[in-house]
Amino acid sequence: MKSNYHFKFEDLLVYQKAMDFAEVVDMITKDFPARELYALSSQFRRASDSIGLNIAEGYPGSDAQFIKHINHAIYSANECVAAGTKAYRRDYITFETNEQIRNQLTEITKMLSSLRNKIKSRM
């Protein structure tokens, strides 16, 4: 269902992809062992959520502030790469699932880098 109230950052494709990615991570981590509830699964979910949250948080600010938040989103995406690798090494996810994660993160980070470069060029 589409909201009657719209925020401009929601139009950014990278924001939409980041939000979708966080839902994928949420589903994946539900199958992690209970002992990871406050460890890897929590860290993975928080890092994946942080990508979209940083885009939203930085959007209404100055160009310099937005670039700072885009950088934080990239850092969180990189953290998700490491979390996915840990999950794969611990046999919580398959190689194919890890590849899917890495593919999505590659696309998101490329989009974030492109957005950052576009903003830098107008400064």
- Output the DSSP codes for 12-24: -HHHHHHHHHHHH
Q: Within a domain: residue 4?
A: no
Give me the sign of the Cα torsion angle 79, 55, 113, 67: negative
Total domains in the fold of the chain? 1
pLDDT 10s per residue in the chain (123 long)? 789 999 999 999 999 999 999 999 999 999 999 999 999 999 999 999 999 999 999 998 899 999 999 999 999 999 999 999 999 999 999 999 999 999 999 999 999 999 999 999 988
Contact 45, 25 (CB under 8 A): yes
Q: Within a domain: residue 25?
A: no
Tokens representing 69 are 């938040």
Q: Within a domain: residue 10?
A: no
Residue 93: give its domain's CATH number.
Answer: 1.20.1440.60
Domain range for 100: 36-121
Q: Within a domain: residue 50?
A: yes
Q: What is the pTM of this model?
A: 0.95
